[in-house]
Structure 1
């Protein structure tokens, strides 16, 4: 069998085979750091070829932070983005040079002269000019850049003290994205991604003007269109023509249009071309008569006639002939229903040298689609799929026939990710002084995903057939549910009427369940074991231990889309590593765009006085009707049939006519961060329902009528115990009336930890917050067990990601629990499952149609269930640690020893000073994890744990050695009471 470079992606249930194309090569991107020669870059996003077709540029935009030993600050000299420069005049790409740039965001273009290229500087709000010397070396001379002139982006700029218009950590910063140049080199256009504008430079290389900015929003140029959405999140640019005939085409991601700008004089919007999907990268043909627009969400290519600015063809990227069959389970009645679904995440395109084919990268399904262009009859179609690395972002051609046969053009594809494997060296905290490897392990999820450069000769049609079949295999296009499993799921669906979906934050399997007496856990990596999480341990024992379960996401940013919709749109995949590296942009996957709650409308004339607007929900929101006009969330997934922003689990339930209730999902948390004496704060009330004080403003349009206004969203200062009590309040009312919703969404988030100086009731250390989260989960399960709904309700509990701890199997492996009468009891289930499978199982239980291609291709977790109900019970047990708090707990048992946290709140507040815990991960999580390890474990050396080893056998012996090591450690074990 040929070597296809096959690698499994356990967190997605896919595999990748980048060496499958005949003659393919796959190269990692090594920037040759002098002090770290083995380090590899991640998140390659854009490729461009020089005018003479001899040089390929590869740009990264992502995390790319490097830590040295014993330092919480990234190595500044190494922690940059990169432009890799390859000689492609021969069949094998030869790396010539790597240029480091502090910050970037996707945009890069060659000057037509070939003596310079331009790189958009992302948050630095500039365009870098990289020039070639006479000797052929590339570099940026001091001061050789184009300034864009912004200090803030457009959004809600706030600081933790409640002031507005302050460009601090939570401020909205500018971002330079796509950049394009005219064929004569005289006009350069930059997309100002967070300022909803473009900046136009004229004069050419060596003589650029100071730049002219044009706001792309309709209301800013025409008062009659005040409050009309348009031009927001401009991402990519294509420039047609020269001189007085120059025109720019700008893709507006949020408003789904191509903005046409006349550049013949003062820049002026001359047309707007609406498109169905989110317009991503674009490319013009040589004659500049056709513009090819890649569209995420709709999985299509729109072909625009640039003479008429009309769409003349829309090309589906997964046509009928290549679509996988519908999932073979009882929820599918229409065999062609999969044609309704999208989710391939198309994101770039390139024309073949003869312009008869268009190659399109599809990030989420890891392939390049080959489109045969038929302009004459408008019948272009996909004729094949080519496997790539994980998450391809860009494709380019060398037109000189540099393949080994001297005739076939070479194809170059870059991808943004790679499989991570185990990360036992990822110290959850800062590591001890005696464990030097902690700092430089660099095993944080965004650090572990690496980029690659794939190259191969242009395949012929026969080869395309084989490659298409390989893509189908890689993505499980033919996966089906066995008759036996289908029967089990049918019985569960028949008996279960209610699902409670609980989402928690950020833990790995080994971190929590590594000390469990069964399953593949490594106790040496366990930091929040049974003493702190007795209820989660008991859930695993009572029902099923899922010891081979993986979070599909890398971080909380992409974790919430994956956990609620079984996909992360391309805009999220592009933004999350940049955000986590501190390179600008905002956390936008839970309904806030640039800190603005776009689920609520802006102020507009004619609205009823009682109508809830953004300003009423948050008085700090700027009173500007053109600020993110409309109610579209740029990061939200679409539903079937291209229903905009309705691709979530609750949307699927509502489409099926089921009842939904939301407790804490997609809530605006902006005002939680303000001091309690601020007039703009939302008070920390233990029982806000008692005073009818609204503490939760939804950030999702669909959830507005279904959200409990008294259930506090993400806030580390607030115990999960009181979240449970509010859920219990409504549950008791609904149970009395027999009105429990079919789908309940419950957010228990305190295992994230943070806000140690403002946390109430003494729940103010990492140990106590973990224990509080565990107790809330246990109380909810106990409540159902003792209710009228015990036999017809299933409780699904999951972490949104696994970014914050080490695991000896894979950095994505996490905890997941299922409880209820139809769940097997006392079983270890080691089948490989992930977040998408979890959601597919919920859909199957409730009889819901899939939301997109990902969950449509997943198979329900049938081996978790029995086809009949069994008696069950559950008793919640508070961790003994919690008796050191002010929570109203059950009476303490006589003789119970109450352990103390390793450090008190004052310590944690001091070491985390300056970190913003107001939302998930709005700070350097790598630094926080190191602080936590040191605070929790002190000088205890981080264990040299096995990686990838099956630890299911001989658990008693392993746990015995582990307990002995704790007793012999130089420092007291957690809970010994040191402060």
Structure 2
């Protein structure tokens, strides 16, 4: 991100990791702290985690192999009576999703159980500690949420698809008299109400918040993705009212709780409403909103919005160039005890915004910023108003030498399992410090501004380079691939900081990517900003991940429910289509329900400049400028690819255009008119070679007509690997699929290089959406990236620190696009890789020899070297891989049984070869010839 983090900047600040004190792993630390709440007497602070938090062991256990009994979420309990937090206890629950609240009596607290579909009740037990005496309060959704409720096994269990979604208990709140408890059902679009009070809770009602299910008009969006809840009033006097934040539909749903619960109002907001807090007399509700980077102030007497407070930074320090841009990811809000100040966590800016409220308490302005840890999620203030407590969800991960095919347990170097995988390496923290005095706020604000590079401006040299490119480059081809690190692909390259011992898919499988690096620029200090594919597609296409994505991805990857929503489908429902009829025509698996996520709002999509809803992607920026866009494989609904034809599946057609059969159904309303409907999306059964051929079919027409789009989006995904039992044309082992992906990239570059019309005015950008699938001796986020074209340097090693956001900024600059958000606006373009004088270039695709063993058209009956040469064989055949991956769901990236698959792949590819037990962090740019020679000898 090119940001700096300074949590010790506030005077007297302490920063501590969250160590649950596991008896068998005393050094293990928890990640993804999401919510902190203070007890009514102000003496106790609770910190809840909600994310990955899987702890692995070398001994398999059921039902989750390699998970230990400590693979839970945690509530850390601190004594804050003296200001400085003192950890007193840690309790565990199986799952959670952000919700936690104290009983008004202070004798209990309640935690929502996420996918467990319940609420845990903790009370004081005999020894004075906190514990669960009774079973959790069940919410009763029978493992079903509102989405595509479809789970099936095909092929005698060889294909296991889990498209349907499960419930998720999220926010939880309680009335002032302790008699009414309300839980938001995040994936059931409802709330559950309990009555009775502590030790006597009984389920009273469940209320569906959607208009069509609560007495309103069917097919109207409302109440979906209910996340947070605040309760005003009491059951005892008939005033109990719930305010529920609907993230997808951007409204606060007002619910009367007394008697039969009923929706009495809907307060529309511009941003995505997140956490909320009421003032003491409950006359004002403060709602923090992502996407708009604001806090709305709602007067509860008439539910009117009486103020909107921008929270990025004080107006005096925010450059005018950033005024219309968003991306702070504000996600929590709390009031000072005297109610004169509001404190807001800005997740993406690693800071707390201090808001000074005016005399009417209905509006205010940011007067300062306080630096925090990475991605703060919650802020609390002591009862006397003298101490602040800020919890954050992320940490730097550092080097990752161990092989990571996908999320899940690590490899087994030296016979034991470690925990080296991005979501698992990401740890949480608790920051505590005395409340800064007014005089301390200006320097702290300046520190936050510096940390986030708000004063950044391109240098003269950068502007010169980019102006030349803007004047001469008219076309960009943007290729996104899947999940590889630098060492995994280029570790065996003769230049650069690569470790050949980690080159799982080195030159013998990726000759074209090696050739691109040699011919143009080797970027050996490039980092993927994302942790995994779920947030990876958000970062790689828009330069940011909204808070809803940041909250969901770690939970989903831990197998704790939730869906992968960042490519246009929400809960596997394709919301790109405006009507139910259109949805069912595109996907017959769609339930016949007008109230299932109606409308075209995508909950995970970023907004564009000026609060343009869901218009924050690269292609939106291009379309705003009036440029032409063509989409090959981005944001498609792929749920039908892996189901039988009789159940609505889409056949594996090698040339669907020739028979006029649509195989690509867009899941982005903006991309729909630009999408090639014959370009198959994510499907491991289908070779990238045929994706290239479909792209080539259209390119040949552009060559003739002279109308190549300004921006082409191309997805070559087969380096992900999978579906070994159904993969066609013998492209059915990990090595062969990787080689197929590499060849497709090479063929596209060759095609452009041979085009007299486009070779000199086109740049090809190639990137991985994330780096989660491999080890790297420098950093677990280091990855490969390539740029090719007439204005790219030749044979250069460029070790400038670049990342995904720099990559996007470069594409924007080449095409003359305006920034999409704060991140790309403050990123330097990758000018070190370019030259202002174009040079002739050529590229010839070279297939990896292992491809000659397939039945892909270019290789049938041919030998890789000569008539007598033997085709290299993969480590194991498709039958082996199908057997050892039986039951795994490869229907989407990162959706399969990650724990088992990682171990299976390691054993199948690497055998007993050990990996380094710990990261080296060495600079391996020197003496490459000797290093590679030693590695070759070791292999032989």
TM range, normalised to the smaller chain?
A: over 0.9
2: CA distance, partners of 1:434 / 1:803: 13
In structure 1, what is the equivalent of residue 22 of structure 2? 33
**Secondary structure of the structure 2 residue equivalent to 1:211:** strand
Structure 1 pair 719–160 and aligned structure 2 pair: CA distance change class (3 A)? farther
- 587 and 144 in structure 1: CA distance in 2 versus 1, 3 angstrom threshold: closer
Name whichever of 243-252 and 594-603 sits farther off: 594-603
Q: Any idea what the Cα deviations from partners look like across 1:440-475, whole Å, max 9, x if unmatched?
A: 211011100000000011111211111111111111
Aligned with 1:932 (options 891, 898, 905): 905
Name the residue aligned to 2:165.
172
Identify if the C-alpha distance between structure 1 residues 149 and 172 changes in structure 2 by more than 3 Å, giving closer, same or farther. Answer: closer
Mapped to 2, the partners of 1:306 and 1:283 lie a distance apart of 12
1:250 paired residue number: 244
> Would you say 1:486 and 2:467 are equivalent positions?
no
| Cα deviation digits, residues 495-537 of structure 1 (max 9, x gap) | 1000000000000000000000000001111100000000000
Take 2:926 and 2:740, find their aligned partners in 1: how far apart are those partners?
A: 32
CA distance in 2 between counterparts of 1:432 and 1:628 reads 35
Q: Is 2:268 the counterpart of 1:274?
A: yes
Secondary structure of 1:637's counterpart equals coil
The Cα shift of 1:321 comes to 2.3
Q: Report the counterpart of residue 175 of structure 2 in structure 1.
A: 182
Secondary structure of 2:640's partner? Answer: helix
CA contact (8 A) 1:433 1:939 kept: no
**Matching residue within 327, 333, 343 for 1:343:** 327
**Mapped partners of 2:632, 2:437: distance in 1:** 54
Cα gap change, 1:439 to 1:656, in 2 (>3 Å): farther
> Match of 1:214?
207
* C-alpha distance in structure 2 between counterparts of 1:316 and 1:434, whole Å: 46
Give yes or no for contact 2:404–2:772 (8 Å, CA) kept in 1: no
Alignment partner of 1:730 out of 698, 702, 721: 698
**Helix, strand or coil for the counterpart of 1:678?**
helix
Contact 1:342-1:640 at 8 Å conserved across structures: yes
Is the Cα–Cα contact under 8 Å of residues 680 and 691 in structure 2 kept in the other structure?
A: yes
In structure 2, what is the Cα distance between the partners aligned to 1:70 and 1:172? 30
RMSD: 1.9
Q: For the residues of structure 2 that align with 1:507 and 1:353, how far apart are their CA atoms?
A: 49
Residue of 675, 680, 683 corresponding to 1:707: 675
- Does 2:692 align with 1:698? no
Paired residue for 1:52, among 41, 65, 79?
A: 41
Counterpart of 1:638 in structure 2 is 607
Higher mean C-alpha deviation, range 622-631 or range 917-926: 917-926
Which of 349, 360, 373 does residue 389 from structure 1 map onto? 373
Aligned CA distance change for structure 1 residues 426 and 901 (closer, same or farther; 3 Å): closer
Which consecutive residues of structure 2, in runs of 5 or more, have no partner in the other structure? none
SS of corresponding position for 1:725: helix
Q: CA separation in 1, counterparts of 2:576 and 2:120?
A: 36
Q: 1:434–1:286: structure 2 CA closer, same or farther, 3 Å change rule?
A: closer
- Whether contact under 8 Å (1:429, 1:934) holds in the other structure is no
Q: Does 2:872 align with 1:899?
A: yes
What residue number does 1:975 align with? none
Deviation of the 1:896 alpha carbon? 4.2
Residue 259 of structure 2: aligned partner:
265
1:599 and 2:571 correspond: no
Q: 1:885 to 1:470 in 2, by over 3 A?
A: same
Residue 902 of structure 2 corresponds to residue 908 of structure 1:
no
Aligned to 1:285: 279
Give 1:170 deviation, angstroms.
Answer: 2.9
Q: Distance in 1 between matches of 2:379 and 2:353?
A: 11
- The alpha carbon displacement at 1:750 in A equals 0.2
Deviations, residues 828-880 of structure 1 (Å, cap 9, x unaligned): 11000000000000000000000000101101001110012111000000000
Distance change >3 Å, CA 664–CA 428, structure 1 → 2: closer
What is the number of residues matched between the two proteins?
Answer: 927
Aligned to 2:336: 352
Give the deviation of 1:74 after TM superposition.
3.2
**1:427 Cα deviation from its structure 2 partner:** 4.8
1:340 to 1:473, Cα distance in 2 relative to 1, 3 A? same
CA distance in 1, matches of 2:524, 2:646: 46
**What residue is the counterpart of 1:530 in the other structure?**
507
How many Å apart are 1:318 and its aligned residue? 2.3
User: In the superposition, relative to structure 1, how do residues 865 and 144 fare at CA in structure 2: closer, same or farther (>3 Å)?
Assistant: closer
SS at match of 1:417: coil
**TM-score, normalised by the number of residues in structure 1:** 0.93
Cα distance between partner residues in 2 of 1:459 and 1:80? 36
- Residues of 1 paired with 2:647 and 2:160: CA distance? 21
Superposed displacement of residue 426, structure 1 = 3.9
Structure 1 residue 22 corresponds to structure 2 residue 43? no
Provide closer, same or farther for how the CA distance between residues 430 and 255 of structure 1 changes in structure 2, counting only shifts above 3 A: closer
Q: Deviations over 1:523-558 (max 9, x none)?
A: 111100000000000000000000000000000000
Cα displacement string for residues 375-423 of structure 1 (whole angstroms, at most 9, x for unaligned residues): 42855100011111111000111113xxxxxxx6110010000000001
Deviations 1:315-350 (A, max 9, x none): 01125625543xxxxxxxxxx342111000000011
List per-residue Cα deviations over 1:933-961 (Å, max 9, x = no partner).
Answer: 11111111123465221110111111111
Whether the 8 Å contact between 1:438 and 1:942 is mirrored in structure 2 is no
CA contact (8 A) 2:692 2:744 kept: yes
> 5 Å matches for 1:144-159?
144-159=136-151
- Tell me whether 1:648 sits opposite 2:600 in the alignment: no
C-alpha separation between the residues in 2 aligned to 1:167 and 1:907? Answer: 18
How far apart, in 1, do the equivalents of 2:315 and 2:525 lie?
34
Relative to the length of structure 2, the TM-score reads: 0.97
CA 1:144–1:754 in structure 2 vs 1: closer, same or farther (change >3 Å)? closer
Listed as ranges, the gaps of 5+ residues in structure 1 are 1-11, 326-335, 401-407, 604-611, 968-979
Residue 83 of structure 1 pairs with residue 75 of structure 2:
yes
831-840 or 907-916, larger mean C-alpha shift: 907-916
Cα distance change, pair 959–741 in 1 and its aligned pair in 2 (3 A): same
